[in-house]
Amino acid sequence: MKNYLFGLLAFALFATVLTSCSKDGDDTTTDLTGTGSVTLEFDHRAGDASLVFGANYRTANGDTVKFSTFNYFVSNFVFVKSDGTEYTVPKDECYFLVKHDDAESREVTISGIPAGDYNEVKFIIGVDSAKSVSPVDQRKGVLDPAAGASGMYWAWNSGYIFVKVEGTSPQAPLNSSTGERTIEYHTGLFGGMTSKTLNNIKEVELHSHDEAAKVRKDTKPHFHIYVDILEMFTSPTNIDVFDNPTSHAGPYSEIVANNYADMFILDHIHN
């Protein structure tokens, strides 16, 4: 009888603890007040491998390439809840410059997001036209042409370089000024202010069907995003580095931009 009562007591205690733990674990699904933050990690890849400057990679065209620069702007972030409602990050808080050789820049944290479950993030590659033509004193931080955006701004063209990729390839023609077989792709253009240009701004939508970022006051969910630099050389057009070792503000930049439009892939979300 004592053993029986002891067993009942033990079971009751276990059930109480289990219920308590379950309630604690459910706090993240029930507390939908206030705001929280989300971190987006941009994990740079070259196909199936991690991107390492100076390592050899093969493009879809069969060219061997070594990279020395990989920078890009991402901006105009929108987070989408599981029910379809959206939160648009305020304009002055949604511009980021990501550089492969700056590990800190590859993790972007956005605060002030209303609590909720978000399974989609949208953003653009580049800097929108409104911000591009705004007064210089309204472009701070990574958008300051003389400071944060140094090297990512065409002074002669008054525009941001959205994506900058540089390196070498044995298949590229010899560059007489450097003595190397260099490749150089500086892609910008937002459509023009006083006269029409190409619009190479690209929209990205990353959706998870299995997971949601549970934004709460005391949590920081994480979007782990692969960014494949080799996508810039393929789909819809394979780039031949012998024929096109460089691209800046000319017509070929549209091909480069159309290729890198799908270089972002959402690998997973974790809370």
Q: How confident is the model at residue 158 (pLDDT cuts 50, 70, 90)?
A: confident
- Burial environment of residue 8 by CB neighbours within 10 A (0 to 12, 13 to 18, 19 or more): exposed
Positions of E strands within the chain = 35-46, 49-50, 57-58, 64-81, 86-88, 95-99, 107-114, 116-125, 153-154, 159-168, 182-188, 202-207, 213-215, 222-228, 246-247, 264-270
- For residue 176, is it within any domain? yes
- For residue 240, is it within any domain? yes
Looking at residue 177, what is its pLDDT?
85
- For residue 9, is it within any domain? no
Looking at residue 26, what is its pLDDT?
45
- For residue 21, is it within any domain? no
| Domain that residue 197 falls in | 35-270
Q: In total, how many domains does the chain have?
A: 1
- For residue 46, is it within any domain? yes
Lookup: tokens for 52: 């390492």
Looking at residue 122, what is its pLDDT?
98
- Tell me the longest C-alpha to C-alpha distance in the chain: 96
The mean predicted confidence, pLDDT, of the chain is 90
Using the predicted structure, report yes or no on whether residue 38 has a pLDDT greater than 90: yes
- For residue 242, is it within any domain? yes
The average pLDDT across 124-140 equals 94
Using the predicted structure, report yes or no on whether residue 127 has a pLDDT greater than 70: yes
pLDDT (tens digit, 9 = 90+) per residue, 51-98? 999 999 999 999 999 999 999 999 999 999 989 999 999 998 999 999
pLDDT (tens digit, 9 = 90+) per residue, 216-265? 998 899 999 999 999 999 999 999 999 999 999 999 999 999 999 999 99
pTM of the shown model:
0.88
Stated as kind and residue range, the H or E segment containing 4 is helix 2-25
- For residue 29, is it within any domain? no
Residues ≥6 apart with Cβ < 8 Å to 96: 73, 74, 75, 105, 108, 142
Task: Name, of 11-15, 88-92, 154-158, the range with top average pLDDT.
Answer: 88-92
Q: What is the CA radius of gyration of the chain?
A: 24
Q: How confident is the model at residue 106 (pLDDT cuts 50, 70, 90)?
A: very high
- For residue 71, is it within any domain? yes
